[in-house]
Each structure stands twice: as structure tokens, then as C-alpha cells.
Amino acid sequence: MAGGWYYFYNNFYALVCLENGTYRYARYIRFHGSFSTAAAARNGYGLNHDYTMTEEGKERYGKYYYNLMINQPVDYGIDWLNQYTKERTLIVFSKDIDKDIDRLNKGTAMIDKGFNESGQYVYCIL
């Protein structure tokens, strides 16, 4: 991870649960000077959704948290987001993310750990 960017490959995505309970996904998460941003894929282009900082996050970091993520593992960034934003973020495996997001938003799918085709024990949308 360099410069505040996390990229996801090989059917892994950042799953973002918004405050209203709906889900979006991102192929990358970007941290920059004033917001943390998840870019949800739309026709191959990025569609930005700004995270909503908690009051604790605003008070503690203000607009100065870009450098916190430099040279940090992805788990650190996800944990930070889950502590200081109102959304919930999780790395998931999906072979058809658009279909899985639709199923999650309709309430016909759930998130749990399982084995992918590579034998990795990961979060999946079932």
C-alpha cells in the first residue's frame, strides 16, 4: 500500500455497508486529505462514495489522516475505517459482485466465511 491507496484483485472487493443498511462495493479504497473514499465500479469507471466520519474521528483527526495509511497493511486501513466512519467495510470474495450486491440489498444473501476455489478461508457472499 503506497500513498493511501488499497487495490483489490482476483475477485476480492471492499464491501461497504452504508448507514441506511444498503451495500456498495469498491475495487479500491483511497485515502486523501479530507475524506476516505470508496470507489464503486460502474461500467468499468470509478463512482466515488465519501465515507461519513464519526464525531470521534473528526475530533481526533480532523482533515489530517492521509499519512496514517502510508506503509500500513490493508487490515489496518479497514480497521481504521470501521472505527472512525459510520459505514462498515469488509473485504469479501465474490465471483459475481454485481449479482451478489443485488442479492444483499434484497435481503436474499448473507455474508459469512467460507472457502473460495483457491482454498482460502475468506468472507464470501452466500
pLDDT of residue 50: 61
Whether residue 42 is predicted with pLDDT greater than 90 in this model: the reply is no
Which residues fall within 8 angstroms of residue 39, CB to CB, at 6 or more apart? 26, 27, 28, 29, 30, 46, 47, 48, 49
**Strand blocks (E) in the chain:** 5-7, 12-17, 23-26, 28-31, 36-42, 45-50, 88-93, 111-115, 121-125
Q: What is the mean pLDDT of the chain?
A: 81
- pTM to 2 decimals? 0.82
pLDDT of residue 65: 62
Helices (H), 4-88: 55-61, 74-84
Position 51 confidence tier, pLDDT thresholds 50, 70, 90 = confident
